[in-house]
Structures are given as structure tokens and as C-alpha cells.
Amino acid sequence: MNRLMGSIGDVVSQLKQRALSSMELCEAALQRQDSVARLHPFITCTSDVARESASLSQKRYGSGENRGPLDGIPVAVKDNFCTSGIQTTCGSVMLQNYVPTYSATVVKRLQKAGAVIVGKTNLDEFGMGSGTIDSTFGPSKNIYRSGIKYDLLLSNREPDGLDSRFPTAAVEDEDWYVAGGSSGGSAVSVASGSTFLALGSDTGGSVRNPASYCGVVGLKPSYGLVSRCGLISLVNSMDVPGLFGRYVDDVAAMLSVVSGLDPQDATTVPSDLQSLQLPENPSLEGLVIGIPKEYHCPGMKKEVIDTWTKVADLMENCGAQVREVSLPHTKYSIICYSVLNPCEVASNFTRYTGVFYGHRVESSHSMEAMYALTRSAGLNDVVKGRILAGNYFLLKENKNRYFKQALKVRRLISQDFDKVWSSGVDLLLTPVTLSTAVRYSEFNNVDNRTQQATQDFCTQAANMAGVPAVNIPISLNTEGLPISLQLMAPWGQDAALLSAAKWIEQHVNFPRLQVLE
């Protein structure tokens, strides 16, 4: 199915030229969704809605009008974004039967741009996790080495360029590789070609982590540039809708559609990203790239360090100035997050009572009993644990020691970034995860909290400071698994960030996965 391989620019050209129709594209995407169903990227398939959108899109192309770069493009939406009339579960029993009466702003914007929403993707329950194994509906699996047959192409523009250096067969013992989390379903949806783009959410790395494991581009925009209205809250001060795609240009197109001031989200700011156009051939001329030394943390695999080194050296050889910098409070970022996250969660999750929506366990004799039983049944242990911890940190006698202290440390972390930007650094280049995708057998041995604490080391700080960060797949390791790197930029510099990401993409020639059907 070559039509699912290309960039959206290529596909929209074909749609305009009527070489391909929106309905055909939609059917191809739905068919692909079927073929990879055992990876379980989707909780809900929205085929009716998709076909309707595709049909309207086709009519538009027929009459010569089209709504822009996303018209007719199959996209996926993480299941913590409200979609009117379509169940929105957050991967939880609590919202299993919840059908929102409104759509998230980003969803509305995608629909207005003509995007074809083919399904709601799987996630760790309420976005808490880094593997997408903690969902009520079962785990999502990484497509790499999953048993799904695929080829690796050196460049999709040269279909004969098969890359046969890497193993693609399933791993033994029915084991599989985790997709990463919490937006694992969205990452797999894009990696498998079921969609060209997907919405995710990033609070501590939940877009960049699965993007890294699944070998796709994953962007966490600057906090405030993309509306959170309709994104079911986890940590209001850090949540950001995130974007997945196979090409940086595609993600840029999606950003131009979803970003911008929203009167319904008071934490959005105006931006000019609606007219975002990345240069065709970005240049590194005059750019100063910082390498924060603390990001080489214990436990990081050598192949990740080697990749980091090679790309840094490559950028230096090609005109950028590369220098080592320090972000001294990095080591506190995870700990800070381990306090701020539960505090905001404890507050946000008071809404889940079973009274107005969602799961409800009957207890006729007392409201409190009903609440406790409902919440106990509806929320998994990870969520419950965070609520308890959050309430502990917010107790009067603890507030200064934990909550206030964490807020102060957050400022120190943010100031680390400010100092680096003021010293003349334009971008930071770092690893994303400590290793390539972990096997489920290994991953499951460690509890959720410890797992997150380890894997979120390189991604968390960007959420603390609200700066934009993007995951770029670089190469495959000897097991055939993607190794990726991260770029970070000052707040609001998303265009510059994506330009540099595009440069890297153009120069590393990451082998492209093509599913064989």
C-alpha cells in the first residue's frame, strides 16, 4: 500500500490531481488498521465517521476546493481527547461508558481542516505510564519485531532501495516490544501506516517516549501554543497536546492547523504558527547546539550515546557550533514531577464521582461510600496511588516541604534552560529514552512508578520549563529497533525547532518501515 507510505504533501498532490480519491485513501487506512489490529493501537475504530468525512473531502476535491494540507488525510486521536458522540475512555473503567457532548478544540480544528479521523487510540490509563501497558483495554505493542511483516526502505522515494541489514522477524517466546507511553497507540498508528498523523498528549514525555520506541517524529509544542480544551486533564500546568507523524513536514502541517489562541482555554497564547512553512532545505548556518552533559545518565545504553555523538559531530561538521552545556538541576526533574503530578492529579480527579458521568458503583446508604467504591472500581492502582500521594503532599503540614518546594525546584529547572539560552545556545540535542524499546517481559518486571522515573529522565524537564521538544528517529540498532534523539528549543521557537529537526531527518536517512499485506 504505497499510498499510505508517503508524506501528506505527496498524498494531497495525488488527491488534487485525482490520481487518488479521499475514499480510497480512507479505505486503505481502515484496511491497514485491520491488518495491524493485534498490535492494538486503537480502542475505538470510527469507520462511519471516517467514511463520512472522506466522502465530503472527495466532493471538495471534485469541485476544486480543498481545505489545506490535511484535507482527506487519515489521522488518529488519543483517547483522552473528547470527541463528540464518540466514546472517550482515557483507557479507564471510569470513563468506559463516557460519550462526550463536545469535541476538543484540536479535534474540531482537525475536522475543520478536512482530516479524516479513523479511530481513538490506546493509552496508559489517564496518561499515567510510559509503556501503554496500563490500559484497561490491554496493551499496545510496538510494530517492530512484532510478527507483522514489513520491509525497511532506505528512502520511500526509491522503492527499490530495500534495507536488508536489520532483522524484522518476530522475537522469540511470543514476547514483544513495548510501544512506549502513554501515547503508545498513537505512535503505533503512525508507525504502522494506519494513519499519517496522530494526536497524543505529553505531560512528562508521553509523546516523545513512544515516538522514540516506534521510530516516528513526535512533537511536544511549547506550552500554551495548542489548546487543551477537551484534553482530559492530568497535570494542567504541564499537559500539552502532542503530534505524531512520519515526516517533520507533516507534523509541521498539523501544528499549523491545531495551534493558536482558543477563547475556551485561558492558558493559550496567540502565535503565528498557522502560516508555518518549513524551509525546503533548512540550514544549520549560525546555529549553536548545546549538549547538556547531565543527559548522559547512568543506565543509558552505549548505542544511544554513540548515536547522540554521531549526530552532534555531524551537525558540527556541517556548519553548526556545538558546545557542551550544563543543566544542573536535571537530576531533580523526575523527583519534582513525582510531587507536582500527584498534587494536580489529586485535585483534578475529584471530578470522578460517578454522579454526572462515568462509572458508578451503587451504594444506597452514603454518598461517600458511593464515591469511594466508584473510584476504587473505576481507577487503577497507579491512579489511586497518585491521588493518595497527592493528598499527602498537599496536607497543611506538608505543603511547604513538598508542594511549595517542588514548585521552587521547578523554577530552578526552568532557570537552567533560561541560562543556557541566554548564553547563546539556540537548540539542545539530547537522547530521548535510555535505550531502544524494551521487551514486555523486562518492562513488566518493574513497577509503573520506577519505570517512569527511569525512562522519563530526558523528557521530563521540557515539560517543567514548557519548552518545545521533538523526537527524531535516527537509525536502527542491531535488533532492528529505532534509536531516536531529541531537540529542544526556547519557548515559542517551535518553527526553528522543526527546521533543525527537518535538517537532521534529511541527513540521517532513517529506514522507513513499510507494512507488507
Partner 1 sequence: MPKFDKGKSVKISEMALVCQRQIVLRCSWRKLPPRISVSYTIPQQAFATAKKVADKESKVPQHPVFPSINEEDLLPKTVVDLKLVQLLEKLSLVDFANMEGLVRLKAAISMADKLSVVNTEGVEPLVTVLENRSLTLAEDEVRSGDMSEELLACAKETIEDYFVVPPGNITYTEQKGYHHELENSDEDT
Selected catalytic residue, list 130, 194, 206, 259: 206
Q: What are phi and psi of 148, to 5 degrees?
A: -70, 130
- Contact set for partner 1, span 99-118 (CB under 8 A): 99, 101
Distance between CA 409 and CA 431 in Å, rounded? Answer: 23
363 binding partner 1? (CB under 8 A): yes
10 binding partner 1? (CB under 8 A): no
- Contact set for partner 1, span 159-218 (CB under 8 A): none
* Smallest distance, partner 1 to C-beta of residue 305, A: 7
Distance between CA 223 and CA 232 in Å, rounded? Answer: 16
Between residues 100 and 185, which has the closer beta carbon with respect to partner 1?
A: 100
Between residues 123 and 343, which has the closer beta carbon with respect to partner 1?
A: 343
Of positions 87, 391, 419, 479, contacts partner 1 by CB under 8 A: 391
Near partner 1 by CB under 8 A, which window of 70-78, 177-185, 191-199, 314-322? 314-322
Between residues 48 and 302, which has the closer beta carbon with respect to partner 1?
A: 302
Distance between CA 432 and CA 130 in Å, rounded? Answer: 12
Of positions 408, 423, 445, 516, contacts partner 1 by CB under 8 A: 408
Q: Is 56 exposed, middle or buried (0-12, 13-18, 19+ CB in 10 A)?
A: middle
427 binding partner 1? (CB under 8 A): no
* Smallest distance, partner 1 to C-beta of residue 479, A: 15
> In this structure, which amino acid lies at residue 323?
R
235 binding partner 1? (CB under 8 A): no
206 is a catalytic site residue: yes
Nearest alpha-carbon partner for 52 in 114, 105, 101, 8? 114
Question: In sequence order, what E strands does 345-419 have?
Answer: none
Nearest alpha-carbon partner for 452 in 237, 232, 206, 239? 206
89 binding partner 1? (CB under 8 A): no
Near partner 1 by CB under 8 A, which window of 41-49, 58-66, 140-148, 384-392? 384-392
Per-residue cell: 456: 522519563
Selected catalytic residue, list 7, 22, 53, 78: 78
276 binding partner 1? (CB under 8 A): no
Distance between CA 27 and CA 49 in Å, rounded? Answer: 12
> In this structure, which amino acid lies at residue 105?
T
Question: In sequence order, what E strands does 59-176 have?
Answer: 74-78, 116-121, 150-153
Of positions 354, 473, 480, 490, contacts partner 1 by CB under 8 A: 354
* Smallest distance, partner 1 to C-beta of residue 497, A: 16
Per-residue cell: 108: 474540531
- Contact set for partner 1, span 462-501 (CB under 8 A): 465-466, 475, 491
Between residues 255 and 379, which has the closer beta carbon with respect to partner 1?
A: 379
* Smallest distance, partner 1 to C-beta of residue 436, A: 15
421 binding partner 1? (CB under 8 A): no
401 binding partner 1? (CB under 8 A): yes
308 binding partner 1? (CB under 8 A): yes
133 binding partner 1? (CB under 8 A): no
* Smallest distance, partner 1 to C-beta of residue 372, A: 4
Between residues 17 and 281, which has the closer beta carbon with respect to partner 1?
A: 281
Of positions 370, 427, 458, 500, contacts partner 1 by CB under 8 A: 370
297 binding partner 1? (CB under 8 A): yes
Between residues 39 and 94, which has the closer beta carbon with respect to partner 1?
A: 94
Between residues 59 and 404, which has the closer beta carbon with respect to partner 1?
A: 404
Of positions 155, 376, 423, 445, contacts partner 1 by CB under 8 A: 376
The DSSP H or E segment spanning 471 is strand 469-476
350 CB-side CA count, 13 A: 7
Distance between CA 271 and CA 256 in Å, rounded? Answer: 10
Pairing state between β 116-121 and 217-220: unpaired
351 binding partner 1? (CB under 8 A): no
* Smallest distance, partner 1 to C-beta of residue 307, A: 9
323 binding partner 1? (CB under 8 A): yes
Nearest alpha-carbon partner for 214 in 421, 503, 480, 398? 480
In angstroms, what CA-CA distances link 482 with 15, 177, 181, 301?
31, 11, 15, 13
Query: Order of strands, edge to edge, in the sheet holding 240-245?
Result: 42-45, 116-121, 74-78, 197-202, 240-245, 217-220, 469-476, 482-488, 427-431, 288-292, 321-325
Of positions 291, 420, 470, 488, contacts partner 1 by CB under 8 A: 291
CA triple 473-15-218, angle to 5 deg: 20
* Smallest distance, partner 1 to C-beta of residue 488, A: 14
237 is a catalytic site residue: no
* Smallest distance, partner 1 to C-beta of residue 323, A: 6
Distance between CA 43 and CA 98 in Å, rounded? Answer: 13
Between residues 8 and 343, which has the closer beta carbon with respect to partner 1?
A: 343
379 binding partner 1? (CB under 8 A): yes
In angstroms, what CA-CA distances link 83 with 118, 120, 278, 368, 394?
12, 9, 30, 30, 33
Selected catalytic residue, list 103, 140, 182, 233: 182
44 Cβ neighbours under 8 A, 6+ residues apart = 79, 86, 87, 89, 119, 120
Residues with catalytic annotation? 78, 182, 206
